[in-house]
Chain A
Amino acid sequence: MSAEQSKSVGSAISIKGVVKEFTRGGQTLRVLDSLDLNVPEGSFEALMGPSGSGKSTLLNLIAGLDKPTSGEITVAGARLDKMSDAEITAWRAANVGIVFQSYNLLPVLTALENVELPLLLHKMSSAERKKRAQIALDIVGLSDRMGHYPRMLSGGQEQRVAIARAIVNDPKVIIGDEPTGDLDRNSADEILKLFEQLNRELGKTIIMVTHDPEAAERATVIRRLNKGVLA
């Protein structure tokens, strides 16, 4: 990481004056407008808002998938707005776990292999990778489904594998992008319980975008975004 990175003690995520603009059809669209946000370490926060409010854009900035037009973003102690693409990619592999709405598991890999996938980016023996992946799957309650391919799993089980993949690197921050969006109520409830458990027992900082008020209620903090500004 670059020398310009600084620590924000006590904050897992610190955002100061972030502006994000997109140019479409020759017009500049400001999606986030001088946004400030501080997410303390170990919190579980839900981000809500209508479509087009900028919540996914904010999530992408926190995950280092996109860069702000201006402003400062510090996540897990790293100044993302100052880092190169390659630095951010390496940082993301070690510090952030992402859970997508549509799971995004690789169909050619078993549950265990999907969870192992992020560990291929680290120097680690095959046995160590396997052991860690087994532990992660055990945490999400799928130790009996390790050899199953995604097509053999239910939606809820697939999402749990995706969560195991997100936590296998022991990241400081877990980002959920509509993690219950494709699930029925029971499966969604299981995922949310898992998030609560990861937050409470393992101290993970979780920030989750959701349209579902019931899901949001499970978070300790609910933030609402409207027209690029936090309410």
Chain B
Amino acid sequence: MNLPGLAVRNIYRNPVRLALTIAGVAVALLTFVTLRTAVMSWDEAKNYTLKDRLVTRHKVTFVMDLPKNYADDVRDLKGADGKPLIRASTFLNWFGGKDPAHENDFFATIAADHTTFLTVYDEIKIPDDQLKAFNETRNGAVVGDLLAAKFNWKVGDNITLESPIFGARENGEPWAFKIVGLYSTTSKAVDRLTFYFRWDYMNDGVRAEAKDRVGWIASRSVDAAHAAEVTAAIDKRFDDADTQTLTQDEATFFQGFMGMVSSVLAIMSYLSYIILAILGLILANAISMSVRERTNEYASMKAIGFHAKTLASLILTESTLIALAGAIPGVILSYLIVDVALGDFLEYNLANFFPVFRVKIWTYAEAVAAATVIGLLAGIVPALTVARLNVVENLRRVA
């Protein structure tokens, strides 16, 4: 028997309280790990964007469109030395399509210029024969392999979509597409859950005032190291035009596009620390109750010759051990729920937001370290109380 052994024995005195405390710590840590992982995954999404890929949109808002000829102007932009600044560019429109058969399932539908699209998004891979079919089929669409699997779509399927943005086709016919290919990607910068179709098919069907308008222009700068100068040069090109532009690198554009979610994640970040505070209160309550019930024993131990410091250490060991006892199931639960179950679900269904949703080793370490430190802090007040305990009064002797 030794003092840490005595601390362990004390922990097991009240099994029900111990189980509830461990459960409380485990759930608090699970919540902490979930929130931290969400925040970190969001940040990580930026890491998959390309530094040389630039996005040009209307200066006022993403919702407003640009003249199509801007795409030519961007592609032809040259530096002061006369050399090209852009090595590839394309243009796209957000279509906002919905499949009436899957009314409640969101997926991105984007009209892309099929002649230039893959020069800018070269991480998208389409088999040659399917790419050939895409180029030859005006209403052809290529969809992410994960999206196809989700809706059980196959090459050759005919799909009809509705667009709340553009309404029906100008001729009154529905927006009918033929799936001619399935794409995969070599990078997480592009999700595998988007429905791409030819921009010219969209342009054919929209009302006269929406024709030859593009949602945004995506381009690749010749030199990634000078992307900032190129974005400024693009916007400067349209400074005196009726419609001014805002060009950003892909990471900034991505963040701006998801601005509202970003605020939510900032709140989640704060919440994760609030969870730690709650964890501290759970532990402090459990330790305080346990120590208060044993005041007499601590008084006896002091009378036997135990120093205040020794007893304080005993209590701090106890509180830290309880925190660690909760941290272990907390980490296991986090792995099973966040890393395995939630990770698979989010990466599959919300790849745009969370291309990688996995708990980092660092987050586990952070959770265990936080539990340890909080366990220690939670024991401080009870430890001080016992250290200052008046032996005579607490032995309850009456003279």
Contact = CB atoms under 8 A, between A and B. Distances in A.
B297 A104 contact: yes
Interface stretch (B3-11, B124-132, B185-193): B3-11
A116 B1 contact: yes
Given A104-B297, A106-B297, A108-B10, A98 B399 contact: no
Contacts of A89: 302, 305-308
Nearest to A101: B397
Nearest to A225: B399
B2 A53 contact: no
Contacts of B361: none
Contacts of B9: 108-109
A98 B305 CA distance: 10
Contacts of B12: 108
Interface string A75-103: 00000000000100110111000101100
Contacts of A118: 304-305
A141 interface: no
Contacts of B310: 121
B397 A98 contact: no
Interface stretch (A36-44, A59-67, A195-203): A59-67
A53 B399 CA distance: 7
Q: Is the interface of B mostly helix, strand, loop or mixed?
A: helix
B305 A92 contact: yes
A31 interface: yes
Contacts of A94: 305
A60 B392 CA distance: 7
B184 interface: no
B158 interface: no
B306 A65 contact: no
Contact of B1 (A31, A92, A109): A109
Interface string B305-318: 11110100000000
B294 to A, nearest CB: 9
B13 interface: yes
A159 to B, nearest CB: 14
A56 interface: yes
A34 interface: no
Nearest to A58: B399
Interface in B135-169: none
B281 interface: no
Interface in B7-21: 9-10, 12-13
Contacts of B397: 56, 60, 101, 177
B197 to A, nearest CB: 72
A112 to B, nearest CB: 8
A54 interface: yes
B299 to A, nearest CB: 8
B303 interface: yes
A93 B305 contact: yes
B395 interface: yes
A3 interface: no
A51 B391 CA distance: 20
Contacts of A57: 399
B10 A104 contact: no
B391 A86 contact: no
A204 interface: no
A108 B303 contact: no
Contacts of A177: 395, 397
A104 B307 contact: no
B395 A100 contact: yes
A104 B305 contact: no
Given A92-B305, A100-B303, A104-B296, 18 more contacts: A56-B397, A56-B398, A63-B303, A65-B303, A65-B391, A89-B305, A90-B305, A90-B307, A93-B306, A106-B6, A107-B13, A108-B9, A116-B1, A117-B1, A118-B304, A120-B2, A121-B307, A121-B310
Interface of B: 1-3, 6, 9-10, 12-13, 296-297, 300-308, 310, 391-392, 395, 397-399
5 contacts: A53-B399, A56-B399, A117-B1, A120-B1, A121-B305
